[in-house]
Amino acid sequence: MDSRIKRLFNKACTGYALLADGDKILLALSGGKDSLVMARLMAERARIFRPSISVEAVHVVMTNVPYVTDISYLRDFCNGLGIKLNVLNTSFDETTDTRKTKCFLCARYRRKALFTFAKENGFNKVAFGHHMDDFLVTMLMNLVYEGSFHSMAPSMSMEHYPVTLIRPLCLVPEVLISHYAEEKELVRQITPCPYEDTTKRSAMEKTLSLLSGLHPEARQSMWHAIEKMWKL
């Protein structure tokens, strides 16, 4: 399990040119299993001589959202990896745009705080823990609910910030991440957000599972379709 997830992680970093010599990378650490695994693999990768990269983690606390994260666990986790943890506090005012849901506004201001911190502190890349299933579910959601064929990308230059967003777990199926997190005894430190609406995503996750049951190579076939889309 350990070698397989690392192989897919390294394949993504190399195949999609996610890392370059001199990169200063900020790791978005929500406290969920995906971000914990991503941070662990990135911290290990930073100890390799080439390419020479440096990493720090950041955890964003939304002060007006009632959920609890054990910051002390995240600090101990990062200390064990030999990386610094930065904790940011921010909030959002839902009256600024009544057309948007609380979930949308929370995500917008969370990312704004994260990317602003990256810009002000000299980070040129921000890493997120999105895995292969996230990419495929997003594709299905856009196809079914929006009538368009697109998904996330392994890397993306931000329009209003001088940083690049990278997703080094893009080739790793969620099941491998779950097994790896259990094997390494990583403790999920985030509780469900009371504003999060996962109805559509949950439906597409079930659809992805159904498709995989019908055809063992469904995930790979769908991934190849996404790759072809990026080349258009």
* Across 66-70, 135-139, 154-158, least confident range: 66-70
Judge whether residue 196 has pLDDT over 70. no
CATH of residue 70's domain is 3.40.50.620
Judge whether residue 149 has pLDDT over 90. yes
The number of distinct structural domains making up the chain is 1
pTM (two decimals): 0.92
Give the chain as a 3 state SS string.
Answer: CHHHHHHHHHHHHHHCCCCCCCCEEEEECCCCHHHHHHHHHHHHHCCCCCCCCEEEEEEEEECCCCCCCCHHHHHHHHHHHCCCEEEEEECCCHHHCCCCCHHHHHHHHHHHHHHHHHHHCCCCEEECCCCHHHHHHHHHHHHHHHCCCCCCCCEEECCCCCCEEECCCCCCCHHHHHHHHHHCCCCCCCCCCCCCCCHHHHHHHHHHHHHHHHCCCHHHHHHHHHHHHHHC
Q: Look at residue 67 in the predicted model and tell me its pLDDT.
A: 73
Residues 211-232, mean pLDDT to the nearest whole number: 92
Q: Which domain holds residue 87?
A: 2-231
Judge whether residue 8 has pLDDT over 90. yes
